[in-house]
């Protein structure tokens, strides 16, 4: 695991985020990281579901602009924006459409698609349906 602090990157075990406290851009506690979602194409941690005290629901927050600090995950958005994020439930894959909704909600640029290095095999096409899988979930 890399040193604590800085942007959440691929070299951190996404499971180590689960159970950490999450804070908004002003340092207000949002809740606790419940689950981490990986991009299927890259395996990069992309979204976290944070269990909020607001009606005990999970709010999806983007990991790319967030930072990992000693006290937890720092999400650089206002509490109200996070509270109003689309609610897709947890424990399931995020569909490409759901992920697009989250990118638009947070005003984030969409990640550049990875160019295929070889013709897609059947297993590659099957994994495309699993966009937004949970960290630690078996394939």
Instruction: Classify 69 in phi/psi space as left (phi over 0), alpha (psi -120 to 50) or beta.
Output: beta
- pLDDT tens, 49-107? 999 875 678 999 999 899 988 889 999 999 999 999 998 888 888 998 999 999 999 99
Question: Is the distance from CB of 106 to CB of 40 less than 8 angstroms?
Answer: no
Reduced to 3 states (helix: H, G, I; strand: E, B; else coil), residue 31 is strand
Q: Using DSSP bridges, classify how beta strands 67-69 and 45-52 pair: parallel, antiparallel or unpaired.
A: unpaired
Structure tokens at 14: 């996404």
Domains located in the chain, CATH noted: 14-106 (3.90.50.10)
The confidence score (pLDDT) of residue 55 equals 63
């Amino acid at each position: 695991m890399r040193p604590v602090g800085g942007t959440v990157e691929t070299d951190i075990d996404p499971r180590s985020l689960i159970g950490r406290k999450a804070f908004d851009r002003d340092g207000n506690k949002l809740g606790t990281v419940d689950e981490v979602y990986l991009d299927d194409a890259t395996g990069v941690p992309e979204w976290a579901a944070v269990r909020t005290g607001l009606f005990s629901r999970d709010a999806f927050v983007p990991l790319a602009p967030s930072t990992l600090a000693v006290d937890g995950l720092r999400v650089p958005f206002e509490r109200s924006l996070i509270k109003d994020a689309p609610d897709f439930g947890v424990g399931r894959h995020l569909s490409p459409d759901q992920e697009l909704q989250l990118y638009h909600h947070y005003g984030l640029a969409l990640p550049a698609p990875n160019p295929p290095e070889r013709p897609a095999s059947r297993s590659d096409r099957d994994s495309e349906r699993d966009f937004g899988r949970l960290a630690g979930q078996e394939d």
